Copies of this chain bind each other. A is one copy, B any other.
Amino acid sequence: MANSEKIILVTNDDGITAPGIRALVEAVKPYGKVVVVAPDSPQSGMGHAITIGVPLRLNPVDIFEGVEAWTCSGTPVDCVKLARDKILHGKPDICVSGINHGANHAINVIYSGTMSAAMEAAIEGIPSAGFSFLDYSYDADFTLPKQVAREVVGKMIAQGLPEGGLLNVNVPVCNLEDFKGPKICRQANAKYVEAFDERRDPHGKKYYWLTGDFKNLDTGTDTDVWALDNNYASIVPVQFDLTNYALKQQLSDTWKF
């Protein structure tokens, strides 16, 4: 199959107007026919949420030159489901999500709408990747993450991924000349140390804002956190079989019912 025949589904969680998705569309355009289906509003932190209590809407938009694009009223996962069923009427050859404005490395993968969209496609057997840039600002310079996305998607097409193959790609904030290239990694053992900011509304009632500091507990040099700290782009292959096989064995041996 010629590259031009590949169907590439692009989505994100920052919403269709975010600069990051525009960079991703440009990154993958050389590889085939791009179709964008993305949330009509920001969906950061939505994890693998799906919309079941309200109906969903799709609307065509013309904001990417020469590229079919739709907004969806739902979550990133809803976008992928609707794209397959109602827009593509079948599976795309590849699904890419992002480029997220902010990190999705380490434990962030489980909160990330960007990664959940890509995971949804992977569950359907579509080779998929989520791309995130450690610069959180709206007007970040996407030159480096765009270059990384083009290289990684090129590899996905040229070398393929096995059934269910899914990549979590994060790109560091660094000068182009200091960038050391992509690196295959594992998910670091890291988490957030959180505290809620407690305030009072004009009626005297308390309310809370989530705040927190990211804390790496992992000293390994094969982790995504290490790679990003050392100016590599991290590529973590991700799975959706969440079985903890070691604990399964331990409980099978020791828990008698």
**Which A residues are within 8 Å of any B CB, using their own CB?**
42, 44-53, 55-58, 77-78, 81-82, 85-86, 107, 109-111, 116, 119, 123-124, 151, 155, 159, 161-162, 165-166, 168, 181-187, 189, 191, 194-196, 198-199, 205-210, 235-245, 247-248, 250-252, 254-255, 257
Given contacts A58-B206, A86-B196, A208-B56, A248 and B243 within 8 Å (CB-CB): no
* Structural contact, A237 and B243, CB atoms closer than 8 A: yes
A134 to B49 Cα, complex, angstroms = 20
* Structural contact, B51 and A257, CB atoms closer than 8 A: no
Given contacts A199-B55, A244-B166, A159 and B255 within 8 Å (CB-CB): yes
Given contacts A195-B85, A196-B85, A252 and B53 within 8 Å (CB-CB): no
Q: Interface SS of chain A: helix, strand, loop or mixed?
A: mixed
Given contacts A50-B47, A57-B208, A244-B166, A198 and B86 within 8 Å (CB-CB): yes
Interface centre among A51, A168, A191, A196 (most CB of B within 10 A): A196
A183 to B155 Cα, complex, angstroms = 42
Find A257's partner among B52, B116, B181, B238 (CB 8 Å cutoff).
Answer: B181
Q: Hey, which chain B residues are within 8 Å of A240, CB to CB?
A: 107, 110, 242
Q: Hey, which chain B residues are within 8 Å of A182, CB to CB?
A: 257
Find A235's partner among B162, B199, B207, B251 (CB 8 Å cutoff).
Answer: B251
A85 to B116 Cα, complex, angstroms = 27
Interface centre among A119, A185, A237 (most CB of B within 10 A): A237
